[in-house]
Amino acid sequence: MSQISLTFPDGNARDYPEGVTAAEVAASIAPSLAKKAISASLDGQHIDLAWPITLSGSIAINTMKDEAPALELIRHDLAHVMARAVQEIWPDVKVTIGPVRDYGWFYDFDRAEPFTPEDLGQIEAKMKQIIAARDPVRTEVWDRQRAVDHYTAQNEPFKLELIDRIPEGEDLRMYWHGDWQDLCRGPHLQHTGQIPADAFKLTHVAGAYWLGDSDRPMLQRIYGVAFRNKDELKAHLHMLEEAAKRDHRKLGREMDLFHMQEEAPGQVFWHPNGWTIYTELQDYMRRRQRAGGYVEVNTPQVVSRKLWEDSGHWENYQHHMFIVEVDEEHAKTKTINALKPMNCPCHVQIFNVGLKSYRDLPLRMAEFGSCNRYEPSGALHGIMRVRGFTQDDAHIFCTEDQIEAETKRFIDFLSAVYRDLGFDSFRVKFATRPEDRAGSDAVWDKAESALLAATRAAGIEPEINPGEGAFYGPKLEFVLTDAIGRDWQCGTHQVDFVLPERLDAEYVAADGSKQRPVMLHRATLGSFERFIGILIENFAGKLPFWLAPRQVVVASIVSDADDYVHEVVAALRAQGVRAEADTRNEKINYKVREHSLGKVPAILAIGMKEVEQRSVSMRRLDQQGSRTLSLDEVVAQLAKEATPPDIG
């Protein structure tokens, strides 16, 4: 029997017979490792312990301590166990697919009756019985006809359709969890007892079209979450409770910030309070960008199809674009335009007007560009996922030699902005070339090498996010972590050698020759709409004082204090504080409760004692009790807090 060589993470290598399994490899190292092993990674591919290994390579044995592979296996096995439980309780239910997703999994079922919350409890109980049985998990590779015959006999039409979608010649792998069988690529655990029975929960049911096609049957999708132990599950469920309390849609209603309606899907109706947040944030970013050496421009909303074809967006991005057809006067055919989904090609048009010299570079061109992108209705989510939005977009036209300095400069710029907005740290991902892309491999090699070198020069070692770059260039993705541990990808920074070539951008170099500039695409916040949603949820509506839409309410305790209330409001407004009067004939406790629900940071109560002393009684949001301050003291203090961080 021929031999293969397997290299371990410590650099040591051993020879094994061809066809050895990862389970046998683990046993050859130590009996204790064989007992703890759950899977293996072979040349970066996650494999089953039972799969034969036929080629030499690098191998690592995974245990439950290896978080990523452990969670993948737990969640994948639970999808199968849940489907088995459903069919054991309701044998007539048809199964489809059950992929792993963030924090858990889902599985789609075809069942005439809707699943109820009580059904979820029954399914969970049956799943725990299956786990307790410690049923073995085994796998086989079948030929296509055997699989078709099997699912025809089982009357599983969705599985037959999945087989039709698998390319000819590709193996069809089958898995059994006990006596229940499913078509699956794997890998899986070795028996159901390896699943932690106290670390999962079924969360909810939703409708889902088969294969996402609205012309296909509507199925029922059961969602679950799972972790390695009950403490991790408990922490996640607590996070979900916190997320529900912080939901920007709920807080948006309570704070009267915005609303959405079906007549304008994916578009935001900003109310005065919400628009105050928006404009304050935009004014802050405008000042920051001016100080950072940017010039601000504005470009058209509706742009001819020709420009999108020239830029490559028509070919690569058309499915996200809103098409606008216009009957031009005396034209024989309609003119086809598109609402711009991004600003980049328009910025190149500005760059191309007039002769540019190397002395003009780097040219940092910014726009608060209103963009429109088609998102499926099922993907829309409050102001976090919309069809119409504004980006704090900018493009830096520079030379290759300037990429490193401009990348570091942007990272420093972004870091300062995030700190001002309450995020002291972030992660950076490096998104590499996608399958569908413009430009040659040589151009992509140059772009990826330049961006990675520049990122490392800025003192950052990014995580690699393979295949997630834009069609025209690699990008950095800046990921924030909010107050309850959720990640949000916001800022981006991309190196682009393709678009300047396609749109014929050039500058005169020092030697008089004409050269292509490099185009750095960058966004700090990304979408204003989405970032405001993140801020609302991160701070649970209690925004930093300078961003709060309603900063101060001055409330009367008795009507005789009304004149002084208005005097206090006027004094605060004169110092730039957003203050309003509440002189309604209501009890002060009622007013305090109402304005606290609206997340007003400071409530000043005025009674006759305050009138006589020319003072105020100040209550802070979420603080017990109040403080008595003189009018001059409270105006000075609140005026200072109302000053944006880039000014104060």
Q: What percent of the chain has pLDDT over 70?
A: 99
Greater confidence, 178 or 468? 178
Mean pLDDT calculated for residue range 20-25: 94
Contact call for residues 502 and 438 (beta carbons, < 8 A): yes
Tell me how long the chain is: 648
Mean pLDDT calculated for residue range 346-363: 96
The residue from 184, 344, 398, 490 that is catalytic is: 344
- Could you tell me which residues are annotated as the binding site for Zn(2+)? 344, 395, 521
The residue from 393, 482, 496, 582 that is catalytic is: 393
In the numeric block, the tokens 């000043």 are attached to 604
What CA–CA distance (Å, rounded) separates 514 from 505? 10
Whether 395 sits among the annotated catalytic residues: the reply is: yes
Whether 391 sits among the annotated catalytic residues: the reply is: yes
Contact call for residues 502 and 314 (beta carbons, < 8 A): no
3-state secondary structure of 121: helix
The yes-or-no verdict on residue 128 having pLDDT over 90 is yes
Whether 393 sits among the annotated catalytic residues: the reply is: yes
Fold of the domain built from segment(s) 545-642: Rossmann fold (3.40.50)
The residue from 159, 188, 288, 395 that is catalytic is: 395
The two structure tokens encoding residue 631: 């009018």
The residue from 246, 373, 437, 599 that is catalytic is: 373
| Lowest pLDDT segment from 195-209, 326-340, 518-532 | 326-340
Residue 647, φ and ψ in degrees, nearest 5: -105, -40
Which burial class, exposed, middle or buried, applies to 393 when counting CB atoms under 10 A from its CB (0-12, 13-18, 19+)?
Answer: buried
Whether 310 sits among the annotated catalytic residues: the reply is: no
Contact call for residues 195 and 184 (beta carbons, < 8 A): no
Mean pLDDT calculated for residue range 443-447: 83
For the domain covering 68-244, report its CATH number: 3.30.980.10
What CA–CA distance (Å, rounded) separates 102 from 486? 11
The yes-or-no verdict on residue 460 having pLDDT over 90 is no
The yes-or-no verdict on residue 72 having pLDDT over 80 is yes
- For 280, 532, 534, 571, 633, the CA distances from 636, given in Å and listed in that order, are 21, 28, 30, 10, 5
- For 371, 572, 581, the CA distances from 584, given in Å and listed in that order, are 42, 20, 9
Residue 326: band (very low, low, confident or very high) from pLDDT cuts 50, 70, 90: confident
The residue from 221, 246, 340, 475 that is catalytic is: 475
Taking alpha carbons only, the member of 593, 530, 606, 531 closest to residue 566 is 606
The residue from 190, 289, 391, 551 that is catalytic is: 391
| Lowest pLDDT segment from 131-145, 434-448, 585-599 | 434-448
What CA–CA distance (Å, rounded) separates 265 from 452? 39
What CA–CA distance (Å, rounded) separates 513 from 527? 38
Contact call for residues 153 and 90 (beta carbons, < 8 A): no
Q: What pLDDT sits at residue 467?
A: 86
Contact call for residues 395 and 365 (beta carbons, < 8 A): yes
Domain 3-63 coded CATH 3.10.20.30: yes
Whether 475 sits among the annotated catalytic residues: the reply is: yes
pLDDT tens for each residue of 278-319: 999 999 999 999 999 999 999 999 999 999 999 888 888 888
| Lowest pLDDT segment from 239-253, 305-319, 558-572 | 305-319
Domain 258-539 coded CATH 3.30.930.10: yes
Residues forming beta bridges with residue 21, ordered by sequence position? 52
3-state secondary structure of 92: coil
Cis previous bond, 466, omega within 30: no
Q: How many CA atoms lie within 13 A of 553 on its CB side?
A: 24
Mean pLDDT calculated for residue range 506-532: 96
Contact call for residues 387 and 373 (beta carbons, < 8 A): yes
- Could you tell me which residues are annotated as the binding site? 344, 395, 521
What count of other Cβ atoms lies within 10 Å of the Cβ of residue 498? 22
Helices (H) and strands (E) in the chain, counts: 20, 35
What CA–CA distance (Å, rounded) separates 414 from 393? 13
What CA–CA distance (Å, rounded) separates 79 from 185? 13
Mean pLDDT for the chain overall = 92
Per DSSP, the residues of 512-563 read S-EEPPEEEEEEEEEEHHHHHHHHHHHTTT---TTT-SS-EEEEESSGGGHH
Whether 101 sits among the annotated catalytic residues: the reply is: no
60: left (phi over 0), alpha (psi -120 to 50) or beta: beta
In the numeric block, the tokens 């010649």 are attached to 169
Whether 65 sits among the annotated catalytic residues: the reply is: no
Q: What pLDDT sits at residue 331?
A: 64
Beta-carbon contacts of 456 under 8 Å, excluding residues fewer than 6 positions away, are none
Residue extent(s) of CATH 3.30.930.10 domains in the chain = 258-539
Contact call for residues 502 and 312 (beta carbons, < 8 A): yes
The residue from 288, 364, 493, 521 that is catalytic is: 521
Mean pLDDT calculated for residue range 388-397: 95
Mean pLDDT calculated for residue range 378-382: 88
The two structure tokens encoding residue 499: 């678009």
pLDDT tens for each residue of 600-618: 999 999 999 999 999 999 9
Which burial class, exposed, middle or buried, applies to 589 when counting CB atoms under 10 A from its CB (0-12, 13-18, 19+)?
Answer: exposed
Our CA dihedral for 275, 526, 379, 434, rounded to 10 degrees, sits at: 170
Q: What pLDDT sits at residue 330?
A: 67
